[in-house]
Structure 1
């Protein structure tokens, strides 16, 4: 997630249209690298793909991340790289909030939406003012960057900054969805590796989100939260279905011959 004035960087622009008439854009989770999508892109094997990440992921945010900034940045990337093509947007974790908002605001541009273990939009009000959370997060991130040049540490610092405005971003995404999305949408849940109350709650929350969006819900396993890197074949199969071809699925995903408008799978 990015702040006002920032941009999304294209870390890979792979493939060609292949007559499919759309482009696939990948939004990684909080402070995750765009290369998380590389295994998925390789397995899809057709079409044009853009792997994106926050351009300043190795720098400090200058202001709190906002939903509108991320939506506008995605618009800018697509206007530059595929001005006339609708997009299949694949969003992981925190990026799912901005992808939902983009699909709601740009229904004519969205060919399909795949949400991978996405964060859940909620109307809950934050307990503390944003300026307090941002001040603490920004100071902690700057201190981390001053101590090390490790990419992993800098990404972690970026995650601290991005998370400062999580409540505001989540609430804005919640307010965007007043009706089911027009684009075919799939909510893909990573079934938690450890069974228990949290696992049941997480799955039911994801199912409820799918119902609100008018989306298909499915689960993948074994996985854990990092679905793009741990189950790239499953995600590739869903992308191929959204592109309009047969879905070459692996264990844990449904067989889809083109994504339906709405519905669920067990």
Structure 2
């Protein structure tokens, strides 16, 4: 009887540990402090998991000693040429995943509450685009394609770092928003296709290069894209479980 009890407990522990450490698949894990990226230059963009897939517009630059503890990618539109004055990078997706979880650190400099014509935008290409906006008013808003209704999901300010996480469930047709690890908003996502082809980070607008807005900037770092959120218990929790098994065995032995 004792051996059977111990065996059952051991099997349950094994299942719990295996599930607890079944981490999600990582599609991108981009740290601009890594040797892959050179300060003063645009980020390496070769499609590997530690780089963007492409620099689409402008010249976002890796900046050393950034406000985000180390190197970070700086977006501004100073000196950009062309019809659209954007700094923009793209990450190719299309992994046939049921879920995409995107997280990154964000920092604004001379951007919030300054009547800037710029905005920082996350674009999810489904292929019809679903957008998240960091606006110069200091509001963070989300807009689904075709609705033209912007839902305010949070706020940001100059010289204050924040972490943004967006969890997109393509089966449940939802996207949930977290700011600094607290859930702040949830809504339907409604992709036009079953998958997301790509996502883009963009800063700028369509106005003149002489607009004074081009002296503001934003930074991002620790850009991560996975196929879901998995809660991993603290080691202390697993330790207590093990102590419980030992206590059970000791109690049975005394009886």
Q: Which structure: greater strand fraction?
A: 2
TM-score normalised per structure 1: 0.25
Q: Which structure: greater helix fraction?
A: 1
